Amino acid sequence: MRVLVTGGAGFVGSHVVDRLLAASHSVDVVDNLATGRRERVPAAARLHVCDLRDARLDSVLAAARPAVVVHVAAQAAVSRSVADPRFDASVNVLGTIALLESCKRAAVPRAVYISTGGAAYGDTDVLPTPEDHPLRPASPYGVSKVTAERYLEVWAGLTGARGLTLRLANVYGPRQDPAGEAGVIAIFTSRLLAGATCVVNGDGEQTRDYVYVGDVADAVARAVAAPEATGIANIGTGAETSVNELYRRLARLTDVRRAAEHAPAKPGEQRRSLLDATRAKSLLGWSATTPARRRPQPDCRVVQEGADNMIDEELKAILACPACKGDLLFEETRIICPACRKAYPIRDGIPVMLISEAEPWSPAR
Ligand SMILES: NC(=O)c1ccc[n+]([C@@H]2O[C@H](COP(=O)([O-])OP(=O)(O)OC[C@H]3O[C@@H](n4cnc5c(N)ncnc54)[C@H](O)[C@@H]3O)[C@@H](O)[C@H]2O)c1
């Protein structure tokens, strides 16, 4: 099937692309690389560097002719949405409308929208929270994601196309940016491994439902393969973990004995978040398969995996193909020279071309 994924160079989107390619779908990616990285998009997918709000989107969709659009791209930072709600709405609301209009012109019959559970439901009366619970977003990001869901429903109603929204719990796993504001597992793990102190906001008894990114990609692949599935489905594990508990387990795994520091609670932060994914089970046959014991105490390798092969941005800027001095394309595990069609593996963050070209060295006597 031909599938177009927006935001396919980002954390969640790149795992979705990998999974769809593994299921033999033909994949086009639209991403403006605002937070996404070109090298996360495998060569087997066609990357169109294009903003959702750019008029060129029409020609990308016309050429890609997707049977399904998976809309992952977003301004995904809650703090940025608070600081600049207009920008947040511009990407998450206007960008989604622009995409849906392009889908209409290209007669795309189906769209799967990646939304959020926690930020959409806000503080809830029922835990685990089902899809029909009232929505109480407490941030501009929550409002913009919920608004985009509504536009998807209206687009489907007006065009006769099908729309499905997946509301994700807190996602963790490889390629999550530990420098970002979200992803407490990536942040804590990278700080613990670097010997830095972790900061817990508030008393740390706030809880979240942490779902592994591979399980999320599986849910999206099932949604793509289920043309009858419409409406809204939560994607979460139904298991609740407090930030204090997460810190204790990650500290134990990394052999750190130091306690975390506590900072004032973030205003408006939800106390508990836990999603009921019963509908995802009946609609898509999906449930989280990452073993329960790894959910609350994710293996550090889960986060490290992506970082192991990461090449420094400065190194990237100065590297050229040793054979033809041409510009290089960086993937996760190799570097490609499109001009002379050579590929150089990356091992432990070091391109082998640097190792094999190095002069032998011995200490001065
Ligand atoms: N990470 C989580 O825990 C989580 C939880 C719930 C929902 N989500 C949702 O999952 C999706 C992906 O989040 P993520 O954590 O992978 O974030 P991310 O920032 O890694 O990915 C977003 C991608 O969208 C691209 N993008 C941003 N603005 C764009 C624009 N105007 N045009 C084209 N591309 C654009 C970025 O370059 C990036 O590749 C978002 O829709 C987010 O709301 C994420």
Q: Are 223 and 317 in a shared domain?
A: no
Q: Give tens-digit pLDDT for 55-72.
A: 999 999 999 999 999 999
Q: Give tens-digit pLDDT for 182-198.
A: 688 888 888 888 889 99
In a domain, 190, yes or no: no
Instruction: Please state the atom number of ligand 1 nearest to the C-alpha of residue 183.
Output: 3
* 275 touches 129 (CB < 8 A): yes
Which of 113, 121, 141, 172 is the catalytic position? 141
In a domain, 52, yes or no: yes
pLDDT tier at 320 (50, 70, 90 boundaries)? confident
Q: Does the pLDDT of residue 309 top 90, yes or no? A: no
Q: What integer pLDDT is reported at residue 364 of this predicted model?
A: 54
Q: What integer pLDDT is reported at residue 308 of this predicted model?
A: 39
Whole-number Å distance, alpha carbon 34 to ligand 1 midpoint, is 9
Q: Are 233 and 336 in a shared domain?
A: no
Q: Are 87 and 148 in a shared domain?
A: yes
Q: What integer pLDDT is reported at residue 348 of this predicted model?
A: 58
Cβ within 8 Å of residue 154, ≥6 positions away: none
In a domain, 12, yes or no: yes
Instruction: Please state the atom number of ligand 1 nearest to the C-alpha of residue 175.
Output: 20
E-state strands within the chain = 2-6, 26-31, 46-49, 68-71, 110-116, 162-168, 170-172, 199-201, 207-208, 210-212, 231-235, 241-242, 261-263, 329-330, 334-337, 342-347, 350-351
Q: Are 139 and 47 in a shared domain?
A: yes
Residue 5: CA count within 13 A, CB half-sphere: 33
Instruction: Please state the atom number of ligand 1 nearest to the C-alpha of residue 90.
Output: 31
Q: Give tens-digit pLDDT for 262-292.
A: 999 987 778 999 999 999 999 999 999 975 4
Q: Are 103 and 136 in a shared domain?
A: yes
Whole-number Å distance, alpha carbon 60 to ligand 1 midpoint, is 19
In a domain, 288, yes or no: yes
In a domain, 280, yes or no: yes
* Domain coverage including residue 135: 2-174+209-238+273-295
Q: Are 9 and 129 in a shared domain?
A: yes
Mean pLDDT of the chain: 88
- Ligand 1 pocket, CB under 6 A: 6-7, 9-13, 30-36, 51-52, 72-76, 91, 95, 114, 116, 145, 168, 170-171, 182
* 198 touches 261 (CB < 8 A): yes
Q: Are 278 and 332 in a shared domain?
A: no
Q: Are 169 and 317 in a shared domain?
A: no
In a domain, 248, yes or no: no
Q: Does the pLDDT of residue 294 top 60, yes or no? A: no
If one counts the domains in the chain, the total is 2
Q: Give tens-digit pLDDT for 214-231.
A: 999 999 999 999 999 999
Tell me the CATH number at 328: 2.20.25.10
Among 18, 31, 87, residue to substitute to test ligand 1 (most atoms within 8 Å of Cβ): 31
Q: Are 318 and 284 in a shared domain?
A: no
Three-state DSSP state, 351: strand
Among 82-96, 128-142, 334-348, the least confident range: 334-348
Q: How far, in Å, CA of 50 to CA of 47, rounded?
A: 9
Q: What integer pLDDT is reported at residue 349 of this predicted model?
A: 61
Tell me the CATH number at 34: 3.40.50.720
Asked about 141 being catalytic, the answer comes back as: yes
CB atoms within 10 A of CB 88: 24
Whole-number Å distance, alpha carbon 115 to ligand 1 midpoint, is 10
In a domain, 284, yes or no: yes
